[in-house]
Amino acid sequence: MGKKNDNLPIVVNDLHKAFGDQSVLNGIDLRVAPGETLAVLGRSGTGKSVLLKLIIRLQAPDSGTIRVAGQELANLNEEQLNQVRKKVGFLFQQAALYDSLTVEENVAFPLSRHTRMSGAEQKERVRELLADVGMDRELGKMPAEISGGMQKRVGLARALALEPEILLFDEPTSGLDPITAGEVGELIVALKQRRKMSAIVVTHDVQQAQVFSDRLVLLHEGKILAEGTFVELQESQNEVVAQFMGHGS
């Protein structure tokens, strides 16, 4: 592997992962450039979410290597791994907000845990973050009192709290109506332009992937079946790729 890859935000080489005798990822190679948003497409059960968990080492690969922010994950101890994780914002599929905390407290959580900000500084930062995603009027509400789309926005504000270099999204538009999904897609584009972050977005929403991604990969049977721009994948002669891209239009 050449030096040119060393400074990329994410470099994945020959990644394998199985659960029991079920092979989920079977030799994945990925590169994400600085400021690039990569969409990972695929049907349910193709290992898209597993890939994200491997990239922040919530799970360990069976073989292969993963470099995040210039660090080879397999070589890191727990403390070093936590330092790398602070550079990565993760938006879970269900937003994963803490039910017992208000919107404001949810977003403040990583700040109180990982920074030395005063209470006043945290409050100010939380307001900025929530304003960024159009949720600054909902500070005192509980997650159960806001819609699914709003929960995703709050989850995104929390994922941005530590000013990550990299963002990982797991199905950011799933379970949302088309209008709200469109708003979340536009939000991803706006944040990317403003903050120049690199991102991987796992999704089966082909139309939204067209909106927010620079490049797409299609996972199929544990491998990357196709890689390129939206137009390149749309023009693919491969039957599986054509069928997948057609479903979203």
Whether residue 150 is contained in a domain is answered as: yes
Position 5 scores a pLDDT of 57
pLDDT (tens digit, 9 = 90+) per residue, 54-92? 999 999 999 999 999 999 999 899 999 988 998 998 887
Q: Is residue 3 part of a domain?
A: no
Dihedral over Cα of 50, 55, 57, 63: its sign: positive
Question: Which range (119-128, 167-176, 221-230) has the least confidence?
Answer: 167-176
**Is residue 4's pLDDT more than 70?**
no
- Judge whether residue 31 has pLDDT over 90: yes
Compute how many other C-beta atoms are within 10 angstroms of the C-beta atom of residue 47.
Answer: 27
In a domain, 151, yes or no: yes
Domain membership of residue 102 as a residue range: 97-163
Mean pLDDT computed over every residue of the chain? 89
Pairing of strands 63-68, 37-41: unpaired
Residue 155 in any domain: the answer is: yes
DSSP string, 208-245: HHHHH-SEEEEEETTEEEEEE-HHHHHT---HHHHHHH
pLDDT band of 50, cuts 50, 70, 90: very high
Number of folded domains in the chain? 1
- For residue 211, pLDDT over 70 is answered with yes
Q: Is 21 within the bounds of a domain?
A: no
User: Domain for residue 132, yes or no?
Assistant: yes
Instruction: Give φ, ψ of 66 to 5 degrees.
Output: -135, 125
Tell me whether residue 103 is in a domain.
yes
Which carries the bigger pLDDT value, residue 184 or residue 63? 63
**pLDDT at 177 (0 to 100):** 87
For position 1, what pLDDT does the model report?
42
Does 127 fall in a domain? yes
